[in-house]
Amino acid sequence: MPLAPDLLRPTILAIGGATLASTVALAQTDSTVTGFGEICFQRVEANGFVKIAATGGSNIAIRADGTLAAWGDSAYGDCRFPLGLAGVVAIDGGGYHALALTADGSVHAWGDNEFGQSTIPANLGPCQAIAAGEQHSVVLRMDGAIVCWGAGASSSTVPHHGQSVVPANLGPVSAIGTGRWHTLVRKVNGAVQAWGLNSSGQCSVPTNLGTVVKVDGGGHHSAALRSNGTVACWGSNDIGQCTVPAGLGPVADIALGGGFTLALLEDGTIASWGVASIQEETPPELDSVVGIAAGGSHAVVIQADGKAQAWGFLGDWAPPAAGFGRVVAADGGWRHSILLRQDGSVVCVGANYAGQCDVPADLGPAIAVTAANHRSFVVRADGTLAGWGAGVGYGEDYVPTEPSIAGVAAGMHHNVAFRQNGTVFAWGRNNHQQCTVPADLDGVVDVDVGYAHSVARRSDGSVVCWGRNNHGQATVPTGLDDARDLAAGYWHTVAARSDGSVVCWGSNNSGQCNVPPEAYNIVQVAAGSAHTIALRSDGFAVAWQPVPNGYHNPALVPDNPGTVDFVAVGENFSVIIDVPSCVSLKDGRDGDDCDGNGVPDYCDIESGAADDDGDGRLDACEIAAGDLDLDGVVGAGDLALVLSAWGAGAKSNADLDGDGTVGGGDLAYLLSRWGAAP
């Protein structure tokens, strides 16, 4: 159950301290938040994209400086582009793999490689264009020859339909395109040719196409863009994907998805035909579009300001904002992650087909967040619960109206919460008694839930589990009485002990309980469906789950993640958060700089400034305003302190007028502030 860490929790910002002087903080930027595994996201600029591509469920963009950003569903690593890849001038996405072309003509590939589609042929030579099909890759070399590899090297069984077999005597080519299982080219002489699967006529190129400037393929259809801005389409038309709208204005670009066609008009607007949802869900605010791409079931565009927008199934990912804000905690569901900022606001990234990322506008400040499957919950600062998204019929999306809630955890079909008094309640599916809370359970300070079991940690470090126990996940190891953190996966449970060691029990079918030797001095743990991630006291994230293919390994921590302050998980992905120190008022909290040093008060406090009364306001400011006893009002207690310090020098807090001596001036100032609340 992700709460903000104690030093960063929105309602408990104080860390104490003897000095009254404000500290000079080190650096203030937004948190660095990185998601990896079956979905991926990271901080990317709000603008600056120049080209876009889409795979089956992810989006990859080229920035103006030639580097890449990626977000979306990354089940096969299609978001995990090579570290350090730069100078990119073109990208394209296949089913679950991607290709990139750099300025020197070299080609790079990553993602699904089941049929060798991501294995670049040796001695390929410099290339001028790339195209990716469902499971095959095509490049156009500088000499006009094309090279194909991956699925389709033969014409036998699915997915081999000959799409990678270059026809004999093809001749020099000037443009290439791919469909799901077919390949298209425009030859130097202007003719268009296609080969591969032709089940719906997608390779039966119409005659008299005219002058073609681009070719592309979809699931079972093909299209050509003519030099006069018109579009020709052929192949499957079962849902209208080849019914070009009458009177369609001059078209500047086309992109084909699984069952739809997307067109960018010369005036910067978008048109589409085929899958109804692509048309119906097109964002109404799209303006001045300059680039388009289509995945299997989603569309993504770039606007003139460099911003990207996506829509469709698993494509309703907004590209991560230009900084997530000062995120201090997170949790994940199936394909989304909910993030808690230090100021108590909440942001969500990921799929939103069930409204799981529709954060209520009137939510108010939160102190804890949790997510599972297709829903999200938060605990507000006032102790009430809020939730949104959808369940599947077990009441797991119900939002209890209980007061005084301290924390909550969401599982596949049930949820568990604990109150400020340490008692626990649960709701949702109860087929394995996962919602039947033990009668004597109290003193709880943390909870988590697995697929069908529940876990709780008491303030004394003891652990209690209940619910399904088919893998021993609810059988607490003997002697575990000093847990400092606790997490539940689908069928396993893990705890960090007070000595920094980790103990794990339950299913180990994916190695999720094979605690590695580098998991020492652990301060936090999190568990996904079948993987575990832990945070060491030195800020190093350790994760484990051996995955044979390695494509979407949620335990494969990205290279050079920096110092990690918090870890979280979704079903099959992980999140690491680096919370930097503070230096300027970049987060909009302009009214919270009481000492005027340009640093938000909460950052001063985080860096060591005194806030002994824990109200989130610098003690130095309160004292300077006359509240010497920090009781929240200038009154008799403060007068007594001035009189007791009468005649003292400048080092006394009672020297309110700063003249170097506690005396009449300070008394006059105090009386002028009488009754005020600093």
SS3 670: helix
Q: State the pLDDT at residue 92.
A: 98
Q: State the pLDDT at residue 93.
A: 97
- Percent of the chain exceeding pLDDT 90 equals 64
**Which residue intervals of the chain bear CATH 1.10.1330.10?**
625-678
Q: CATH 2.30.30.230: does it fit domain 327-578?
A: no
Could you tell me the pLDDT band of residue 24, with boundaries at 50, 70 and 90?
very low
Show Cβ contacts of residue 43 under 8 Å, excluding neighbours closer than 6 positions: 30, 32, 33, 34, 320, 322, 323, 324
In this predicted structure, the answer to whether residue 22 has a pLDDT above a threshold of 60 is no
Tell me the sheet residues that pair with 330.
Answer: 339
Angle at 407 between CA 402 and CA 408, to 5 degrees: 80
**Which residue intervals of the chain bear CATH 2.130.10.30?**
44-312, 327-578
Each residue of 442-468: pLDDT tens digit?
Answer: 999 999 999 999 999 999 999 999 999
Average per-residue pLDDT for the chain: 87
Beta carbons of 531 and 552 less than 8 angstroms apart: no
Which is nearest to 152 in space by CA: 191, 198, 106?
A: 198
Superfamily of domain 625-678: Dockerin domain (1.10.1330.10)
In this predicted structure, the answer to whether residue 17 has a pLDDT above a threshold of 50 is no
Query: Three-class SS string for 41-72?
Result: ECCCCCCCEEEEEECCCEEEEEECCCCEEEEE
Which is nearest to 70 in space by CA: 92, 95, 40, 99?
A: 40
Beta carbons of 328 and 290 less than 8 angstroms apart: no
Specify the fold of 44-312.
Methylamine Dehydrogenase; Chain H (2.130.10)
Tell me the average pLDDT across 75-81.
86
**Cβ atoms within 10 Å, residue 158:** 9
Each residue of 340-373: pLDDT tens digit?
Answer: 998 899 999 988 889 999 999 999 999 999 999 9
- 321 burial type by CB count under 10 A (0-12 exposed, 13-18 middle, 19+ buried): middle
SS3 622: helix
Tell me the average pLDDT across 294-320.
84
CA distance 312 to 278: 6
- 419 burial type by CB count under 10 A (0-12 exposed, 13-18 middle, 19+ buried): middle
CA distance 111 to 80: 7
Each residue of 502-551: pLDDT tens digit?
Answer: 999 999 999 999 999 999 999 999 999 999 999 999 999 999 986 544 55
Higher pLDDT, 666 or 97: 97
